[in-house]
Structure 1
Amino acid sequence: MPGAEVDSTRAWRSVAATFVSSAVTLGIAYSFSAFFQAMATEFGTTSGRTAVLFAVTTCTFFFLGLLTGRAVDRFGPRPLLLVAAVSLLGGLVATSAVGSLTVGYVTYGAGVGIAAACGYVPMVAVVGGWFVRRRAAAVGLAVAGIGVGTLVASPLSARLIEAYGWRDTYRILGVGGAVLLLGCTLLIERPQAGSGSNRPRFTDAIASPVFRRLHLSACAFTIALFVPFVFVTQDAKAQGVPAVQAALLVGLLGGASVIARVVFGSLTTRVGSFRLYRMCLAGHGFTFVLWLVAGSSFGLRILFVVLLGIGYGGVVA
């Protein structure tokens, strides 16, 4: 790649596209808690069966991320964003028409899961290929889209559900999300040959004991993290908190993670990334004590999700 293109305006356009694609795909995925009660009530299912929708989505997203990360090197980012747009639109529209939750496992789990796998992991890899000097800042800004998307999508979904019902809300999100993803294809470009030549190979990473320990800790962290993403809103509503206000909890979690990514990202060079990572993991575990003792206190729940979001953002940073 010509030196003038690295860290250039073209590079920052790819950051903007990744920010939006992450906000759309993962913001919609993480807003599931706003739909939880309405879907469980209509289908007459238990909390456990309803939560499987989110579990299928996250499993699809994480496992396919291994494939889409390689696919972007071969095909470039635009075809993957097209797949994300079609998958998100098709999955949400199909889910809005399902007559049973079991069918929703396929339509929602596959539709949103594929969209997230195509709209997040490979796009972040593209951003890394466009930068040398400002790579950390660029990637940090790009992944901040997850937090912003969560901050916006969860309370927005709750308001739309109150106004139109959960089925029409999925149709609205499907169309709106697909349009935004198609817009991202106009901004993002494949890094030119040679820009990613210094990136480590996947086989080298797997061979590293440090990588394997990091992967294991990240898996354990993610399992714990996704429990409040699904249930903190339902828990608040069970205590009498209005639906939109309860959905704001997930939004605050996402918003706090954005701030944490910026702050912790600037501290990594001075404090050390591994030290900050350990601190955030320890703090993440402590925050669940607040949820345990929250009782009927909405204020303690706010404190819980804000601190959880800070730990989440710090781990990602």
Structure 2
Amino acid sequence: MTASAPTHLDSARGWVTASGAAIVVMAGFGTIYSFTAFANAMAEEFDTGLGPISIVFGITVFLYFGSALVSGRMYDRFGIAPLIVAGGLLFVGGLLATSQVTVLWHGYVLFGFGLGFGGGLFNAPLFALTAMWFAKYRAIAQGIVATGSGLGTMIYIPFAQWLLRTYDWRVGMRWLAVIAAVILVFGLLVIRQPPAMEMGDPRRHLSLVVRTSTFWQMGSSGVLFTIAVIGTIGLLIPFAINDGVPEIAAGLLGFTVGLSSIVGRLALTSLARPLGSVRLLKIAFAGLPVAYAIWFVTTRVGTLETKYGLLVAFAALLGVSYGGYVALLGDVTAHLFGLAGIGTLVGRFFFFAGTGALIGPPLLGFTRDVSGGITMPIVMVGVIALAGVFVLMPMTRHPLALPTYVGPPGSPPPPQSRPLVPAPAAQRPAPMVEAGSNGQRPERLVAAMAHPRSAALRDAPPQVFWPVADDGEPDGTGAVPPVTVADVARSN
């Protein structure tokens, strides 16, 4: 008999969960990115340049993304609720403790570990969790979750500036801690773990994924992307102020990045089905070098009005590229590599992003301090972004033909090339599966094939089987999900 798609996919419960995840992501990103509003005030109080202060932001974002290497595995094992509780306690506690520091390096530990590692415990798992709730509308749902980071940038940076003007940076962090605590409790109430689905052997699948060139193309380009983007976001306001832009107008640039990133997330994910998520991911990345070219032009403009107009255009394009890339990353991961062990896999890509985030802000901050201007940092991040485009562009748009691939229910299997070594007899599927009562044609099960150039895959017996029509071509109706060895055994 044929298998039916799980009933929780694309359900109302899934949309509620995605919306709750977006609000929690907003609190995480927004609170961390609000640091850019406090940077100059902290530099003055601790009598340092922007370089040492930017290390705090770099460590924080590195751990926020990089801790996903741990949190992804923990999510696959324990689910989301324990991660929100443990991460939330560290996140709120780190904010409160940082508001009391009298020595800068204490901020490296308290703000960096508390907000970075604590927030990272729930950030990447929320993206993996959302992917498991959706099939047809996964890209849009991922875009909604990713919109949280855009809302955080758009709302929190101007709010942090208001707190700085009204109180000081210490009191501002305490207010942000209270707000984060309320939002995290709300997240616990509305975010739900999806029902378990048969995903095959995730550990074996991941061991094959990391041997592919596609994995390393995504990972290395992610490092270059976050060096440029996170470095820019972390220092955009102080750079603009140092370039003669009034403080309030500089804060509005952060608002522009956040607003345009929401536009990028929603617009690009809505086009994912007709145009393909991988193609759109490449387009989003390609916008970065163009944005940095506009930023470079602002350094050659004399009048403040023209300069600021170009800065707004730069911030808007930066936001669209950044928002689209982040929103599409989860869908691209599921499309190319499947759903087996997706929490761990998303965590690895977030770790790559965290590595770039650790490098970017200090690199730009110290370059600014040494060069005495912002031209050199702009040229540097522009070249880095262009290098990332060249790394990502050759990447395949098709699912990898791994023998352990488990695709989203209803999706077509990876392109077949040549058979693997025959599986043991106990694992071979029956040649025919009787059609169900829905009147569909009888189907036979065919093992997923490996890429012919991948010697590492040829000795691995198939673990996943796909229903195909009588003509030998994959059934494109979207009605039948992948069928596993366990399914075949049950049907017999």
Indicate the TM-score class for this superposition, using the shorter chain for normalisation: over 0.9
Q: For 1:308, give the aligned amino acid.
A: L
Instruction: Work out whether 1:307 is the aligned partner of 2:317.
Output: yes
Q: Which has the higher contact order (CA 8 A, sep 6+)?
A: 1
Report the 3-state secondary structure (helix = DSSP H, G, I; strand = E; otherwise coil) of the residue aligned with 1:120.
helix
Seen in structure 2, the aligned counterparts of structure 1 residues 263 and 272 have a Cα distance that, compared at 3 Å, is same
Instruction: Work out whether 1:213 is the aligned partner of 2:217.
Output: yes
Seen in structure 2, the aligned counterparts of structure 1 residues 2 and 269 have a Cα distance that, compared at 3 Å, is closer
Match of 1:283 among 273, 281, 287: 287
Seen in structure 2, the aligned counterparts of structure 1 residues 289 and 100 have a Cα distance that, compared at 3 Å, is same
Q: For 2:116, give the aligned amino acid.
A: G
Q: For 1:191, give the aligned amino acid.
A: P
Seen in structure 2, the aligned counterparts of structure 1 residues 195 and 261 have a Cα distance that, compared at 3 Å, is farther
Question: Cα offset for 1:269?
Answer: 3.2
Seen in structure 2, the aligned counterparts of structure 1 residues 236 and 151 have a Cα distance that, compared at 3 Å, is same
Aligned partner of 2:61 in structure 1 is 58
Aligned-partner Cα distance in 2 for 1:218–1:41: 33
Aligned partner of 2:111 in structure 1 is 108
Aligned partner of 1:186 in structure 2 is 189
Q: For 1:265, give the aligned amino acid.
A: T
Aligned partner of 2:246 in structure 1 is 242
CA offsets 1:28-68 (integer angstroms, 9 cap, x no match): 11222101101001000111100000110111122211111
Aligned partner of 1:161 in structure 2 is 164
Instruction: Work out whether 1:141 is the aligned partner of 2:144.
Output: yes
Question: Cα offset for 1:283?
Answer: 2.0
Aligned-partner Cα distance in 1 for 2:108–2:245: 28
Question: Cα offset for 1:2?
Answer: 8.9
Q: Which deviates further from its counterpart, 171-180 or 246-255?
A: 246-255
Aligned partner of 2:398 in structure 1 is none
Question: Cα offset for 1:132?
Answer: 2.4
The number of equivalent residue pairs is 317
Aligned-partner Cα distance in 2 for 1:274–1:194: 25
Match of 1:264 among 261, 268, 274: 268
Question: Cα offset for 1:314?
Answer: 2.5
Aligned-partner Cα distance in 2 for 1:274–1:101: 42
Question: Cα offset for 1:82?
Answer: 1.0
Asked if structure 2 preserves the Cα contact closer than 8 Å seen for 1:155 and 1:245, the reply is no
Question: Cα offset for 1:114?
Answer: 1.8
Instruction: Work out whether 1:39 is the aligned partner of 2:49.
Output: no
Aligned partner of 1:298 in structure 2 is 308
Aligned-partner Cα distance in 2 for 1:223–1:300: 22
Q: For 2:295, give the aligned amino acid.
A: W
How does the TM-score come out when normalised to structure 1? 0.94
Seen in structure 2, the aligned counterparts of structure 1 residues 18 and 94 have a Cα distance that, compared at 3 Å, is same
Q: Which deviates further from its counterpart, 181-190 or 289-298?
A: 289-298
Question: Cα offset for 1:282?
Answer: 2.4
Aligned-partner Cα distance in 1 for 2:170–2:75: 33
Question: Cα offset for 1:120?
Answer: 1.5
Aligned partner of 1:227 in structure 2 is 231
Report the 3-state secondary structure (helix = DSSP H, G, I; strand = E; otherwise coil) of the residue aligned with 2:67.
helix
Show structure 1 runs of 5+ residues with no match. none
Match of 1:72 among 70, 75, 98: 75
Question: Cα offset for 1:198?
Answer: 9.7
Aligned-partner Cα distance in 2 for 1:88–1:121: 15
Q: For 1:237, give the aligned amino acid.
A: I
Computed over aligned residues only, the root mean square deviation of the Cα atoms, in angstroms, reads 2.0
Q: For 2:70, give the aligned amino acid.
A: L
Q: For 1:229, give the aligned amino acid.
A: I
Q: Percent sequence identity over matched residues?
A: 33
Report the 3-state secondary structure (helix = DSSP H, G, I; strand = E; otherwise coil) of the residue aligned with 1:264.
helix
Aligned partner of 2:435 in structure 1 is none
Q: For 2:259, give the aligned amino acid.
A: G
Question: Cα offset for 1:225?
Answer: 0.6
Aligned-partner Cα distance in 2 for 1:3–1:73: 19
Aligned partner of 2:257 in structure 1 is 253
Match of 1:118 among 89, 103, 121: 121
How does the TM-score come out when normalised to structure 2? 0.61
Q: For 1:106, give the aligned amino acid.
A: V
Report the 3-state secondary structure (helix = DSSP H, G, I; strand = E; otherwise coil) of the residue aligned with 1:207.
coil
Instruction: Work out whether 1:273 is the aligned partner of 2:277.
Output: yes
Q: For 1:209, give the aligned amino acid.
A: S
Seen in structure 2, the aligned counterparts of structure 1 residues 114 and 186 have a Cα distance that, compared at 3 Å, is same
Question: Cα offset for 1:197?
Answer: 5.8
Q: Which runs of 4+ in 1 moved over 6 A?
A: none
Question: Cα offset for 1:10?
Answer: 2.0
Q: For 1:72, give the aligned amino acid.
A: Y
Aligned-partner Cα distance in 2 for 1:2–1:139: 20
Instruction: Work out whether 1:132 is the aligned partner of 2:124.
Output: no
Report the 3-state secondary structure (helix = DSSP H, G, I; strand = E; otherwise coil) of the residue aligned with 1:97.
coil
Seen in structure 2, the aligned counterparts of structure 1 residues 8 and 197 have a Cα distance that, compared at 3 Å, is farther
Q: For 1:163, give the aligned amino acid.
A: T
Show structure 2 runs of 5+ residues with no match. 329-492
CA offsets 1:215-243 (integer angstroms, 9 cap, x no match): 11111011011122122101222244333
Report the 3-state secondary structure (helix = DSSP H, G, I; strand = E; otherwise coil) of the residue aligned with 1:6.
coil
Aligned-partner Cα distance in 2 for 1:87–1:15: 23
Question: Cα offset for 1:244?
Answer: 3.2
CA offsets 1:182-208 (integer angstroms, 9 cap, x no match): 110011111222176698943232122
Seen in structure 2, the aligned counterparts of structure 1 residues 271 and 129 have a Cα distance that, compared at 3 Å, is closer
Aligned-partner Cα distance in 1 for 2:19–2:202: 22
